[in-house]
Structure 1
Amino acid sequence: MTLTQRHCVAGGQPLNPGEFAALLANASAASWTERAGALEKTFVFADFYRVMAFVNALAWIAHRENHHPDLALGYDRVTVRFGTHDAGGVTLNDFICAAHADALLTDTQ
């Protein structure tokens, strides 16, 4: 089962270094980086309209999964950061939502 076929579950545990490395090596997560205990990626778009379309679609996913990212956005870019504060680190839920965010690209560009 791919990450985009999965859904978040409550109470995720932080991944151990081996699990984290294996998931990060996955093709769907390879473009994300670990930064200060979270997964982070900057998406670049042609204009603000496409930025907002992506953000709104990502908000719907975050609401559905009950797993919400930190976002920083500008005219042509969005930095998305998934980390599980309650667990104190990156969980499987973060990778699942990162994969869902990547899957939106075919709909927004």
Structure 2
Amino acid sequence: MKKLSESEIKEKLQEINGWEYNENAIHTTFEFIDFKDAFSVMTRIAFEAEAQQHHPDWSNVYNKLYISLSTHDAGGVTENDFALAKSIESIIQGE
């Protein structure tokens, strides 16, 4: 998988709301009603990430979920990261 240029990344970010690029990854934060809702969404994202064989760097504090995506093998952001980001957005919107 080819690492995307910064201009390619910025162009693709226009397709997904709430994500930003910095520190060689794309990032977002989601806030839920409580921990149970956050964890439930994390579980659904985990199954999708496994299906795509592409796993996020993430953390959760109570009702907040912080996600960073980059492709370590490519040394930066690739199409795989945007595919997973779009899947995550679909999961969130299905809430």
In structure 1, the partner of 2:8 is 19
Is 1:65 matched with 2:52?
A: yes
What letter corresponds to residue 91 of structure 1 in structure 2? T
What letter corresponds to residue 60 of structure 1 in structure 2? F
Q: Tell me how far apart the structure 1 counterparts of residues 41 and 68 of structure 2 sit (CA, whole Å).
A: 14
In structure 2, the partner of 1:3 is none
In structure 2, the partner of 1:52 is 39
| Residue in structure 2 matching 1:89, options 68, 76, 87 | 76
Aligned length: 95
**TM-fit CA distance, 1:56:** 0.1
- TM normalised by structure 2 equals 0.93
**TM-fit CA distance, 1:107:** 3.0
| Residue in structure 1 matching 2:26, options 35, 39, 46 | 39
In structure 2, the partner of 1:8 is none
| 1:104 aligned counterpart, secondary structure | helix
**TM-fit CA distance, 1:17:** 2.6
Identity across matched positions, percent: 31
CA deviation string 1:1-55 (max 9, x = no partner): xxxxxxxxxxx111123321210122xx231011210111000000111101110
**RMSD across aligned positions (CA):** 1.1
Higher strand share: 2
- TM normalised by structure 1 equals 0.82
